[in-house]
């Protein structure tokens, strides 16, 4: 199996500026809208979708991002790939508003630029800005840092 050549907004993802988002696991693959955040401020785990041909970019696990609504600030999204050893950052602590990696307990503060507040992750979780285009949420910037592990899983 040969991985597709990454050509997106970070060296190891195929996300592109202008991409729409769909919720991971949504069988209808509906584009994420601002209304999806009206009922709750819980982050939503998403795949990016090409705005050109509607392709859902599931070819790279690194493409998954958490879309987050912030009060009086633009939406943003964090990489869902842990900065320690690249596990999926799959858990959300609603009380402390942290994204948590279950592998070794790294915790990232989403209101302070993804800063590491617990666990072995050596760097903040990279984020990118989102924009709203005709009520749909789209990718609007490159990532703030390198996606993925900074430590070998063998460590
Ligand atoms: S891979 Fe996330 S804490 Fe180790």
Q: What is the pLDDT of residues 12-23, one digit of tens each?
A: 999 999 999 999
Is residue 28 within 8 Å of residue 11, measured between CB atoms? Answer: no
Report phi then psi at 117, rounded to 5.
-115, -5
User: Which of the four pLDDT bands, split at 50, 70 and 90, describes residue 70?
Assistant: confident
| Confidence check: pLDDT of 155 > 50 | no
The pLDDT score that the predictor gives to residue 83 is 96
What is the Å distance from ligand 1's center to 112 Cα?
Answer: 19
| pLDDT 10s digits, 116-125 | 999 999 999 9
Summarize pLDDT for 85-112 with one digit per residue, the tens: 999 999 999 999 999 999 999 999 999 9
Q: Give the residues surrounding ligand 1 with Cβ less than 6 Å away.
A: 82, 84-85, 87, 101, 103-106, 119-121
The whole-number pLDDT of residue 40 equals 81
pLDDT score for 154: 45
Q: Which residues contact 3 (CB under 8 A, 6 or more apart)?
A: 59, 60
Task: Answer yes or no: is pLDDT of 1 > 60.
Answer: no
Q: What are phi and psi of 60, to 5 degrees?
A: -125, 125
Query: Exposed, middle or buried by CB within 10 Å (0-12, 13-18, 19+), for 81?
Result: buried
User: For residues 132 and 138, is the Cβ–Cβ distance under 8 A?
Assistant: yes
Which of 83, 103, 114 to mutate to test ligand 1, by most ligand atoms within 8 A of the CB atom? 103
What domains does the chain contain, in order, with CATH numbers? Answer: 20-139 (2.102.10.10)
């Amino acid at each position: 199996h040969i991985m597709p050549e990454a050509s997106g907004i970070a060296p190891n993802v195929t996300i592109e500026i202008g991409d729409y988002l769909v919720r991971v696991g949504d069988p209808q693959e509906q584009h994420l809208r601002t209304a999806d955040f009206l009922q709750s401020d819980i982050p939503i785990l998403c795949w990016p979708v090409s705005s050109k041909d509607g392709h859902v970019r599931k070819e790279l696990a690194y493409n998954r991002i958490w879309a987050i609504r912030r009060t009086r600030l633009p939406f943003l999204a964090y990489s869902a790939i842990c900065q320690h050893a690249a596990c999926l950052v799959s858990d959300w602590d609603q009380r402390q508003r942290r994204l948590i990696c279950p592998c070794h307990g790294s915790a990232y503060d989403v209101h302070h630029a993804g800063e590491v507040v617990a666990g072995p992750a050596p760097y903040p979780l990279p984020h990118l800005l989102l924009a709203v285009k005709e009520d749909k949420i789209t990718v609007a910037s490159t990532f703030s840092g390198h996606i993925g592990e900074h430590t070998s899983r063998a460590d």
